[in-house]
Amino acid sequence: MIPVYQPCLTGREKEYVNQCLDSTWISSRGEFINRFEKAFADYIGAHHATSVCNGTVALHLALEALGIGPGDEVIVPTFTYIASVNTIVHAGATPVLVDSRETDWQIDPEQVRRRITPRTRAVIAVHLYGAACDMEALQRICSEHRLFLIEDCAEALGTLYKGRHVGTFGDVATFSFFGNKTITTGEGGMVIAREKSVLESAYHLKTQGVSPVREYWHDVVAYNYRMTNICAAIGLAQLEKIDAIVEKKRQIQQWYEQALSGLPLRMHAELPGTRHSYWMCSVLLDDGTQRQALREHLKANDVETRPFFPPAHTMPHHYSADAFPIAENLSARGISLPSYPALTEEDVAYVASRIRNFVESGGMQKTRPVDQQAPALVS
């Protein structure tokens, strides 16, 4: 079976983890925490970073560190991984779902503008599948309306917008290091913030709100969201290889683009002025009704795939009868293909040949060549 993802642990991960074990610093204190946070902030181009135990709590902390809570509305795309929406509810605020853009599959700034009310406090830009959102448009809207801009970069490590790493455009940004992410710590996450005070607040909340000067004194209802030294050790070793990992992922995308050329599907475009990190090599089928049959065909040929996220508004706890036509359409037509860094050109050729074989045996109508034209960056 060619899996959708597997971590690439070929660097100093074992050596660093053994250092944790040998030193007995296996909990959430130890030298690797600071080393990983510092190296991560440097890589992103951020002033400050604080590690956490996953990308979901990173979002929860980001919201609470900005003071978002009951009575506040936060605008978020319905087409996203569920944590981007659930964490707004965890913070006691109300998610306001908006549609995405067909061109780049990301939150639509025009839809954001339409859903602003006097209660809106923040917008969450989720950089989905490794592409960047339209940050100029979102920054403009947020500054006009005095809203916080939060970037969910769980799927976008290595992604650039106009030469800057995503996560550096908003007030606060979050990352995930789950096992299928561009770098992994098993489970893990990071919060970065523009203002030191916001990061200090995130740090305070992640460490049980403990007083820095009085032992066992807690001045706020807070959490234990800390990362362990062992996870940070793995993260540091992973980060040492980030350039090679992103380069390889971009190479894999190119192999897919060549091998899938001419088929009735579209790959995720790299918009002008951005660098896509291809967390997932994803395709949008012209005919979404064929998706399940194609996935089954690939599974029968030992290729694992993933469907796109169902929009949040279709789930019972975030249900909305409002129309989100683009999100629904993208969600119904998308498949993520195997995308891990150790894939070889032969692996990619094999996956593509199985897709081609499905199309040629009548599984999908061959209607038009793959659309490699990057649409204009709207901002």
Ligand X SMILES: Cc1ncc(COP(=O)(O)O)c(C=O)c1O
Out of 122, 154, 199, 359, name the contact with ligand X by CB under 6 A.
Answer: 154
Helix/strand/coil for 139: helix
Say what angle helices 345-360 and 242-259 make with each other, to 10 degrees. 30
Q: What is the DSSP string of 315-342?
A: SGGG---S--HHHHHHHHHEEEEP--TT
**Type of residue numbered 159:** T
80 lies in the binding site for ligand X (CB under 6 A): yes
Candidate segments 27-35, 60-68, 69-77, 80-88, binder of ligand X by CB under 6 A? 80-88
Helix/strand/coil for 230: helix
Helix ranges (DSSP H) in 115-219: 135-144, 196-206
Q: How many CB atoms within 10 Å of residue 299?
A: 12
- Rounded CA-CA distance 99/171 in Å is 22
**Total residues at the site for ligand X (CB under 6 A)?**
14
Q: Based on CB atoms, which residue is closest to ligand X, 155 or 255?
A: 155
181 is catalytic: yes
E-strand ranges in 30-185 read 48-52, 73-77, 94-98, 120-126, 148-152, 160-161, 164-165, 172-176
176 lies in the binding site for ligand X (CB under 6 A): yes
189 lies in the binding site for ligand X (CB under 6 A): yes
Structure tokens at 314: 């279709």
126 lies in the binding site for ligand X (CB under 6 A): yes
84 lies in the binding site for ligand X (CB under 6 A): yes
Out of 54, 238, 274, 339, name the contact with ligand X by CB under 6 A.
Answer: 54
Q: Based on CB atoms, which residue is closest to ligand X, 76 or 355?
A: 76
55 lies in the binding site for ligand X (CB under 6 A): yes
Out of 83, 199, 205, 265, name the contact with ligand X by CB under 6 A.
Answer: 83
Q: Find the residue with minimal CB distance to ligand X.
A: 55
Instruction: Supply the minimum distance, in Å, between the C-beta of residue 174 and ligand X.
Output: 7
3-state DSSP percent of the chain in helix, strand and coil, to 5: 40, 20, 45
Out of 108, 152, 171, 270, name the contact with ligand X by CB under 6 A.
Answer: 152
155 lies in the binding site for ligand X (CB under 6 A): yes
Q: How many CB atoms within 10 Å of residue 216?
A: 7
Catalytic residue among 181, 206, 241, 249: 181
Q: Which positions lie near ligand X, rule CB under 6 A?
A: 54-56, 80-81, 83-84, 126, 152, 154-155, 176, 178, 189
Positions marked catalytic: 181
